[in-house]
């Protein structure tokens, strides 16, 4: 008897074209468990043009030139704070200063927001959307069609934090801080199921160690060959907040978790975004009080102010499962 067909996760990735984005896209494009419907691009790590070129480069190198790529917002949809450009982490070209030739294909003739709206409407309840850059495209999609969020199967974002500090700002993680207004719109949208926050609390634990770096350096796979120099560049500053000699791969963790939900888990709690100027601008604020009140007084509830929506807050991460996926990507083949 034939083995039962395993349903692949239908996915759209929205990305700002950096090094960890490249790992995430390569993994999704080559995973037997993913049907990558499209990749949409947004400003962030580098400008929109570079981000878009990088996505095409990665898809071509990964053997997936047929995945449609659509360019989106070149700027935030709301006011933004001053943030140091991320070129010291991702390189001036977003791929560790490798300056590889452009891919032989480019973007399709459709704006990223229109593509996000269209594909999800064509497959209501079936598409997992994974933003791994600033949330400008996703926020704009919700503003254009407030019913869109309810048609998304699940939203899994790389961004924010519940317990730890920011990276781009004192309390602001880069993807939130680059467009706090968009993040606020996304936080409060009418999602079918609580979105998952894959934030710095978990991405700083799911790291490349010397073992994973050695695999990449061994060039056992095309991914290792292509991503070796970018990851070497990225590792210098990318690991600032991690254990010594380790560095995270934020976006890869979010994309993998969208397919393997047990990889990152946590409680459903109210989440809001600090959009007003001030010391905590760009912070994700998680109301972590409820479980304590419920423990002290079963049935008790606490007032939650306006500006919060229910999210699953990633606090637990299966680091071994994450690294096992990296080993699949970088070999050596079993």
Instruction: Please state whether 96 falls in left (phi above 0), alpha (psi between -120 and 50) or beta.
Output: left
Near Ca ion by CB under 5 A: residue from 14, 16, 53, 201: 16
Residue 228, token pair as written in the block: 């070796």
Catalytic, out of 43, 178, 204, 250? 250
> Which residue, 91 or 270, is less far from Ca ion as judged by CB?
91
CB of 203 to ligand BDR, least distance (A): 7
Rule CB under 6 A: say whether 40 interacts with ligand BDR: no
Q: Which two tokens stand for residue 32?
A: 């037997």
Strand order in the sheet with 9-15: 69-71, 34-41, 9-15, 127-131, 154-158, 196-198, 309-313, 268-273, 284-286
Q: Is 21 in the site for ligand BDR (CB under 6 A)?
A: yes
C-beta of 276: minimal distance to ligand BDR in Å? 21
Cα distance between residue 159 and residue 228, in whole Å: 25
**Minimum gap (Å) between residue 53 Cβ and ligand BDR:** 16
Q: Which is nearer to Ca ion, 132 or 156 (CB)?
A: 132
Does 251 engage in binding with ligand BDR (CB under 6 A)?
yes
Any catalytic annotation for residue 204? no
Q: Can residue 273 be called a binding residue for Ca ion (CB under 5 A)?
A: no
Nearest-angstrom CA–CA distance, 115 and 97: 30
Query: Is 132 among the residues that bind Ca ion (CB under 5 A)?
Result: yes
Residue closest to 153 by CA, chosen among 132, 131, 126, 130: 126
Is residue 151 at the binding interface for ligand BDR, with CB under 6 A as the rule? no
Q: Which H or E run includes 212? A: helix 210-217
When asked if residue 20 is in the footprint of ligand BDR (CB under 6 A), the reply is yes
Binding positions for ligand BDR, 160-219, rule CB under 6 A = 167, 173-175
Catalytic residues: 250
């Amino acid at each position: 008897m034939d083995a039962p067909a395993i349903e692949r996760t239908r996915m759209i990735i929205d990305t700002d074209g950096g090094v960890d984005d490249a790992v995430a896209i390569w993994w999704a494009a080559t995973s037997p468990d993913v049907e990558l419907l499209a990749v949409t691009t947004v400003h962030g790590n580098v400008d929109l043009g570079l981000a878009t070129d990088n996505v095409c480069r990665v898809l071509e190198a990964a053997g997936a030139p047929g995945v449609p790529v659509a360019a989106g917002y070149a700027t935030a949809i709301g006011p933004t704070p001053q943030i140091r450009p991320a070129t010291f982490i991702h390189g001036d070209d977003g791929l560790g200063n490798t300056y590889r030739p452009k891919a032989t294909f480019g973007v399709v003739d459709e704006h990223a927001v229109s593509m996000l709206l269209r594909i999800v409407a064509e497959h209501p309840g079936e598409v997992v959307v994974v933003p791994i850059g600033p949330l400008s495209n996703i926020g704009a999609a919700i503003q254009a069609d407030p019913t869109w969020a309810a048609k998304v199967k699940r939203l899994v974002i790389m961004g924010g934090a519940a317990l730890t500090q920011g990276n781009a700002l004192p309390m602001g993680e880069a993807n939130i801080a680059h467009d706090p207004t968009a993040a606020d719109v996304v936080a409060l949208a009418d999602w079918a199921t609580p979105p998952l926050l894959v934030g710095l609390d978990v991405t700083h634990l799911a790291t490349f160690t010397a073992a994973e770096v050695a695999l990449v350096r061994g060039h056992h796979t095309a991914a290792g060959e292509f991503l070796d120099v970018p990851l070497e560049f990225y590792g210098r500053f990318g690991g600032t907040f991690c254990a010594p000699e380790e560095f995270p791969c934020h976006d890869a963790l979010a994309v993998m978790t969208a397919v393997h939900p047990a990889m990152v888990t946590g409680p459903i709690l109210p989440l809001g975004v600090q959009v007003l100027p001030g010391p905590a601008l760009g912070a994700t604020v998680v109301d972590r009080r409820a479980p304590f009140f419920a423990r002290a007084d079963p049935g008790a509830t606490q007032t939650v102010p306006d500006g919060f929506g229910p999210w699953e807050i990633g606090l637990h991460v299966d680091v071994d499962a994450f690294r096992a996926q990296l080993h699949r990507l970088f070999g050596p083949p079993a």
